[in-house]
Amino acid sequence: MTTSKWLIRGATIDDGQADILIDGSLITGIAEITGAGSGLTARGAQELDASGLIALPGLVDLHTHLREPGREDAETVETGTAAAALGGFTAVHAMANTEPVADTAGVVEQVWRLGRAAGHADVQPVGAVTSGLAGRQLAELGAMADSAARVRVFSDDGQCVADPLLMRRALEYVKAFDGVIAQHAQDPRLTEGAQLNEGEMSGRLGLAGWPAVAEEGIVARDCLLAAHVGSALHICHVSTAGSVEIIRWAKSKGWPVTAEVTPHHLLLTDELAVGYDPVYKVNPPLRTAADVAELRRALADGTIDCVATDHAPHPVEAKETEWAEAAFGMTGLETALRVVHKAMVETGLLDWRGVADRMSVRPARIGRLAGHGIPLSQGAPANLTLYDPAAPAEPVSPRGASKSRNTPFAGMELPGRVVATFLRGTATALDGKLTS
């Protein structure tokens, strides 16, 4: 196991090099290296040479499917959080579409406790907005908020809260406990049977089109609702340039709207569907190169607040089938930082300070998650990630800690490597491997 005292030597933080001293669960010292060194001494501490490595506050994922309870064949809290640790995450928000649905205090507490027991990363359950994700009546949002899991983010993810009145009520109701509604923006009527972004590829491949307007219409409506009732709205997995434009407009009005984008929507396009391999089938669907370019710009300028993986594990048989039969979703925890490196840092759109902001600080703030997303500083919880940006680009292996292998990045050469992850001073990953 790992010692509780660490001296991390020579890590890159923002523009400088620093030594970081961890004692127990806290960062007890952080000092820039000058000609005479940092002055921090390693008495009783295990030393870790971090020269050339970037230190980031531990990554926070606002959007993870851990599948437990119910689909333990695809993922468990144990395996999903192990994948998170390997990807540099110290906290994940577990989506509510489990079986049973996380729509009661009992289920969210169960998931929360499973996360504590696993120990690889903090698991913050997301509660369902409506009972059974059925879109008919509100789940007991207050009970979930008051439970040991202290739920603050509510989402019917996978389903859209399509009923405008129900959405209005949900937004209003969660104000009482500083909650946020995370909307999966998908007009159900406009996407009946939809398979692939509606455009040149869907027409050519004969796959039912998924129009951008099915997302944008809901985004626009919900921004207006959030403004009307003065409640916090978060837009899940924004995938179109049109949604970005609406969110930019809503933010310019000062409305309480935040948004996330997935790594896959920052890198992949619908052209990949050409071989009908359902590993590229995802909800919302992969869009066009123009959408990808706009999503990158929006993440860079802060219109989109954060990256969230929408890690969606599925067993092999759910993907080894005809496109229309296959499940929607891709894994993403283990590759997220490398994808962001390639899509945002290598392109010059974001520096590492920006990556820390979009993958740790802001998602923790949106998720109302105490103890995470705090810039590395003396007295802060020792949640941090060490990343080697100079590691030679290597093809992604589909086999990682996740139980599932439905990564669209398999075989793709991505830069960088997550070297170590610390959760409250305990190393959950070291040298790119799990510690326990």
Partner 1 sequence: MKRHLISAADLSRDDALLILDTAEELGRIADRPIKKLPTLRGRTVVNLFFEDSTRTRISFEAAAKRLSADVINFSAKGSSVAKGESLKDTALTLEAMGADAVVIRHGASGAAHRLAGWVRGSVVNAGDGTHEHPTQALLDAVTIRRRLRGPGQDGRGLDGVRVTIVGDVLHSRVARSNVLLLSTLGAQVTLAAPPTLLPLAVGSWPCSVSYDLDSELPKSDVVMMLRVQRERMNDSYFPSVREYSRRYGLDATRMALLPEHAIVMHPGPMNRGVEIAADVADSPRSTIVEQVANGVTVRMAVLYLLLGGAELPGVSQ
Question: Site residues (CB under 8 A) for partner 1?
Answer: 195, 198-200, 202-209, 211, 275-276, 317, 320-325
Residue 272 C-beta: closest distance to partner 1, Å = 13
Of the CA atoms within 13 Å of residue 245, those in its CB half-sphere come to: 10
CB atoms within 10 A of CB 360: 30
Q: Among residues 52 and 211, whose Cβ is nearest to partner 1?
A: 211
Residue 322 C-beta: closest distance to partner 1, Å = 4
How does DSSP classify residue 275?
Answer: G
Strand order through the sheet with 180-183? 153-154, 180-183, 233-235, 257-261, 306-307
H or E element at residue 273: none
H or E element at residue 107: helix 105-118
* Torsions phi, psi for 293 (to 5 deg): -60, -40
Beta strands 384-388 and 417-423 are: antiparallel
Q: Among residues 37 and 411, whose Cβ is nearest to partner 1?
A: 411
Q: Is the omega angle on the peptide bond into residue 375 within 30 degrees of 0, that is, cis? A: no
Q: Among residues 183 and 240, whose Cβ is nearest to partner 1?
A: 240
- State the angle between helix axes of 212-229 and 164-173 in degrees (0 to 180), rounded to the nearest 10: 40
Residue 208 C-beta: closest distance to partner 1, Å = 8
Query: Which of 122, 291, 310, 357 is flagged as catalytic?
Result: 310
Q: Among residues 142 and 315, whose Cβ is nearest to partner 1?
A: 315
Residue 211 C-beta: closest distance to partner 1, Å = 8
Residue 195 C-beta: closest distance to partner 1, Å = 8
Is residue 23 part of the annotated active site? The answer reads: no
Cβ–Cβ under 8 Å, residues 155 and 96: yes
294 φ/ψ sector (left φ>0, alpha ψ -120 to 50, else beta): alpha
Q: Among residues 116 and 204, whose Cβ is nearest to partner 1?
A: 204
Q: Which residues are catalytic?
A: 310
